[in-house]
Structure 1
């Protein structure tokens, strides 16, 4: 008989619950916090601390004893010894199954006592991992008992299998498993204890759609958990006015539902507000007035070069969007963006700011331009990966390539676009009719009659072509100009069309640009490149004869990152015309360029418009342009394919000194490709190709490490070469020209 060992009420409760499960005891029994051999309290049943042994029966069922016969109150009694030598707690008796009881004098059948059930002490106390107490007379081990309950590993006791022994050529393990001869039975790990009160887990199954619970929207969960607070004054964090939450449920455009159908998505609004302030001291060769000058007694061709410019843009707008745009295109969008501009200029020579010399040497002007006004409609998805096609109509932005070399503007047009093959391919089909521009701000004149200048564009992008990490673009652009009968003067009174040189007659032209552009990474090297071939028909500005266009353009930038520094190499070539009087025009010109290349608007050559002839009415180059196109301006002038062309080689670097602070530097050297057109215009021979060295540096500070507040300060100087001095030698061969740009941008 095993000694009686104390245990806590927690262990008593666990064993009692397990015993109750197998015995079929109904109701709950209170545990007592005493030793097993102590007297029970009134009303308690003396069943704790005893395990019930289930015997193997010949039938499939396993019967168990019923504790209903236990007295409500049991006095302390001594343990009794049965005739078979078994110990039973005092006051308890076992029932004998007469159908299976052995005859007098016979040994009990099998390895299990012939009594159906038996209550005996289960000695396990705190700290004992397992206790295996075999019942007297049993050849097989009884159920294992842990402090927390049973581990049942006796197949015979639990299943009620027949007592017949296996054939002699088979082996049976202690847990009842049978193995062929010569093969050992691998011992089983004890089955883990299963809490009888636990809720059973569902059977395992393959993952299916039910494993993913659809979320109705992306903002409701944040609202429910109160994770973020909506702040209409914060443009960076959660803000309903920035499209983070719908302003109302349903369509933004209910009047379109008869045409487009009922919307299944909500309506969002995205407000935009930008203050863009520029202070710009600068100098460039400034011609003296044709009629008069501010400096009496002088007869120089060029006057004082110093100037000052202030420009303020208040950009504002909104978008109404139907559709969840986090993982797919919006269903429909209406966008409006307007710009209120104020600008001021101060120069030292008359007739620079206006054609009328009596207006003085300073000018204040303002303008309101509409830069975006379009509807974008999502026609359909064509795959389950949200490949789509859409259409957009109205005043909208567009760029023909990655760096804005040929056409980058906000113009009136219709654009059909989309993608396919899991977004590996993107395409655009577009038509634009160019709007007139305000002369002093460069913004759109939306209320003037559009120009007779049409641009048709077809392009296709392919990601990871020709190698992984590189995006390729093939494009075809047709520019049809029918402004031959126009005679247009800009807002300051200068002739803009036709250009005031050569025959000064209007002209029509048709030109096609075929291009290939690339952007991406090859190993550690970042690559951006563009190449264009232009061909078509034009009227020669010098001979007024029909001529053909054949011109080339190529540009590339290579860069490599070294931790917080990026080093860049740049190269650009635009062909120049070799003979202004033949019937072939070889000078390359763009439609409306805005290059982000070789320093961009930090560079002196790209930022400033340098006058050439006609009292400054025709420029050597345009503002925010790299090509020496000989236009009056890129805003009003026509493309000009009789020009000197350019060759540029540059190097630069960007240094991210902190997440909020970057400095950049660039050095570009430039040459004219062919100066024949310049020599003809200036009636001057032997103009050198050397333009000079352009040095620039810039610092960008983002105090909040976002684009909501940006301060930029840049400076550039042009150190003239021989060719530049040949054109402007009358100025006295200045050592340099400068450009300073201070820019503050606040964005909501």
Structure 2
């Protein structure tokens, strides 16, 4: 670093003046100098005249003085940095002599260093004033003759720097754990503190449904991929109903009407299912390698009627029934045959007593029965398919649980589902069904009533073979939710009891439900049509009937028409079976044969579903029902005219989940049926109703 110029001393100025005078010339002094000798013969010194010697003496004095002054001066060095050690450049450093108060500035180099040279001994201070920093003044620095002290200057910011807050500590994306099956739920709360009973992420207890347990498939029981699942379901319905009830003629009530008596009834049918399953697999999005499941069931059946001859064919059995049944509802094995692609597409087969639903809503076949089913997918699960063959088992009359006796009815089903068809979120299905129900002899149910063939018209064993081609869809088109299904049925009944002859089947079924969601509620409209037979005595059966339906539509279990089985007066057949919407005129849905000579039905429904809280939902439905054709009823009941209007079915139901899961579900509701002219013509004009409650416990 260059310091400022040092002021010229008077001595130096005089020296330069002498040099400018130039050398002495002899022409100015012509006299010759003659050496002389003294007494000892030595030469005598001859003194020069004063004008010559004075300049020489002055030069010698200046040289000696300058050398002595240079030996007493010192140098001050230093470096200027900020508080993190970064050099400050350019920065102006001012050196102040405390003796003379003379200030001398310097500018720092690139590395922040500076040098003050040629300083007289004495006290000094260093001062630095830079924008953005606090003023700096050093302590007194005493410079000794010839000294070279050094000073380190650290400047402090005038205002503290503002830095963004450090990012929150990030949890690692992956934390190795010794056993991946022992993962715990996070210790976070779904709801604000202080709200008790609504936080599923709690410390697991003995019966806590979120506790990891080898009994419900949370951790392997053998190796790293074999799991065990124990599932128990206890379903307890309580039901009081008023329905048309045939009056049992008896001596204890001689004034009873011939056809209808007191229709009040109540029943409870608790059922316990205990499912045990062992399977080999890895993760939920991959198909299982194999599985074995066994589900025994226990049913208790208690009914109280006001009329005899309804619970049992013999009036001696009274008006109450109490019985229990044990059955094997599920017993199957499943194995994956092979993979179709690297995207977890596969082909598997399942054999044994197994559940199966052949369409979105259970219009044609929803049952648990003995069969073999091959199923799989392709196209990254966008396409799914089933090919199933069932050898139907008999059902117990009152509980409708399976009996280990073959019914002589064979069912074949093939269907295909395609996701995101036409628009994302909309799935279509195409299906083919075949059913052959052979009835070589009379079959009576557990209560002593004739179940096959139907005890109407020509009563003789006969076979029914039917085919169904179906197309349906379920999903949404934008905001519009839509679900629809169509079936065309054909086949042969070699001796229909009503027609009294062999008939060819040609019947249709169609249903569509459209709905729109608005925040917490859904408004929906539904139309259901099952074709009826307008000429029951010809060779064509045009009334639609299913294989084993259990549809979820027009209110499902909350609907009076769907929930209650209504018997047809003067016959031993049902107008509509329990958990069915088709007026098929069977003896029962579970044990009777399909009958394609029936009146059919047309249903208009308006529904409103609402989610009030995380625990409470409600379902409200109003349906208007009418027969598609009434000629069959006119012939059976020997009436010349029967109106098509059946009546209005109004229902409201609630579903309550106190623990925010499916471990405890309480369903309750009431449905009311207001008869119209057609129902009055064949049964009664009384208003019918049923309040009910169902408690379902699952573990």
Shorter-chain TM-score bucket reads: 0.7 to 0.9
| Aligned twin of 2:605 | 650
Out of 368, 371, 394, the residue aligned to residue 436 of structure 1 is: 394
Q: Tell me, yes or no, if structure 1 residue 234 matches structure 2 residue 208.
A: yes
* Partner Cα distance (1:466, 1:515) in 2: 19
TM-score, with length taken from structure 1: 0.69
User: What is the 5 A alignment of 1:98-137?
Assistant: 122-126=79-83, 129-131=86-88
Q: 1:216 to 1:451 in 2, by over 3 A?
A: farther
* Partner Cα distance (2:565, 2:185) in 1: 53
Alpha-carbon distance, 1:276 to partner: 0.8
Query: What's the Cα RMSD here?
Result: 2.9
Out of 231, 237, 247, the residue aligned to residue 221 of structure 2 is: 247
* Partner Cα distance (2:474, 2:179) in 1: 35
* Partner Cα distance (1:335, 1:144) in 2: 83
| Aligned twin of 2:520 | 564
Alpha-carbon distance, 1:545 to partner: 2.4
Structure 1 residues not aligned, in runs of 5+: 4-81, 89-119, 135-139, 146-210, 250-264
Q: How big is each residue's C-alpha offset from its partner over 1:227-252, in whole Å with a ceiling of 9 and x where there is no partner? A: 99765522234332111111231xxx
The answer as to whether partners of 1:229 and 1:238 remain within 8 angstroms in 2 is no
The answer as to whether partners of 1:2 and 1:123 remain within 8 angstroms in 2 is no
Alpha-carbon distance, 1:331 to partner: 1.1
The answer as to whether partners of 2:569 and 2:682 remain within 8 angstroms in 1 is no
Alpha-carbon distance, 1:297 to partner: 3.0
| Aligned twin of 1:378 | 336
- 3-state SS of paired residue (1:450): strand
The answer as to whether partners of 1:235 and 1:242 remain within 8 angstroms in 2 is no
- 3-state SS of paired residue (2:591): coil
Q: 1:715 to 1:489 in 2, by over 3 A?
A: same
Q: Tell me, yes or no, if structure 1 residue 745 matches structure 2 residue 699.
A: no
Out of 568, 579, 587, the residue aligned to residue 624 of structure 1 is: 579
* Partner Cα distance (2:389, 2:75) in 1: 102
Alpha-carbon distance, 1:476 to partner: 0.4
Q: Tell me, yes or no, if structure 1 residue 356 matches structure 2 residue 314.
A: yes
Q: Tell me, yes or no, if structure 1 residue 424 matches structure 2 residue 382.
A: yes
The answer as to whether partners of 2:217 and 2:229 remain within 8 angstroms in 1 is yes
Out of 271, 276, 285, the residue aligned to residue 230 of structure 2 is: 271
Q: 1:86 to 1:433 in 2, by over 3 A?
A: farther
| Aligned twin of 1:464 | 420
The answer as to whether partners of 1:365 and 1:440 remain within 8 angstroms in 2 is no
Q: How big is each residue's C-alpha offset from its partner over 1:76-104, in whole Å with a ceiling of 9 and x where there is no partner? A: xxxxxx99x9989xxxxxxxxxxxxxxxx
Q: 1:275 to 1:213 in 2, by over 3 A?
A: closer
* Partner Cα distance (2:529, 2:293) in 1: 38
* Partner Cα distance (1:602, 1:648) in 2: 15
- 3-state SS of paired residue (2:683): helix
User: What is the 5 A alignment of 1:201-216?
Assistant: none
User: What is the 5 A alignment of 1:14-413?
Assistant: 122-126=79-83, 129-131=86-88, 218-220=180-182, 222=184, 233-249=207-223, 265-289=224-248, 292=250, 294-413=252-371
How many matched pairs?
545
Alpha-carbon distance, 1:270 to partner: 1.1
The answer as to whether partners of 1:353 and 1:361 remain within 8 angstroms in 2 is yes
The answer as to whether partners of 2:291 and 2:334 remain within 8 angstroms in 1 is yes
Out of 637, 657, 672, the residue aligned to residue 627 of structure 2 is: 672
Alpha-carbon distance, 1:705 to partner: 1.3
Q: How big is each residue's C-alpha offset from its partner over 1:646-680, in whole Å with a ceiling of 9 and x where there is no partner? A: 00001010111111011211000000000111111
The answer as to whether partners of 2:87 and 2:111 remain within 8 angstroms in 1 is no
Q: 1:741 to 1:435 in 2, by over 3 A?
A: same
Alpha-carbon distance, 1:577 to partner: 0.7
Q: 1:591 to 1:379 in 2, by over 3 A?
A: same
| Aligned twin of 1:724 | 679
Alpha-carbon distance, 1:214 to partner: 9.8
Alpha-carbon distance, 1:390 to partner: 0.6
User: What is the 5 A alignment of 1:536-575?
Assistant: 536-539=491-494, 540-575=496-531
* Partner Cα distance (1:410, 1:130) in 2: 85
- 3-state SS of paired residue (1:219): helix
- 3-state SS of paired residue (2:604): strand
Alpha-carbon distance, 1:221 to partner: 5.2
Structure 2 residues not aligned, in runs of 5+: 4-69, 92-107, 114-172, 188-200
Q: Which has the larger radius of gyration?
A: 2
TM-score, with length taken from structure 2: 0.74
Q: How big is each residue's C-alpha offset from its partner over 1:20-65, in whole Å with a ceiling of 9 and x where there is no partner? A: xxxxxxxxxxxxxxxxxxxxxxxxxxxxxxxxxxxxxxxxxxxxxx
* Partner Cα distance (1:493, 1:527) in 2: 44
Alpha-carbon distance, 1:728 to partner: 1.8
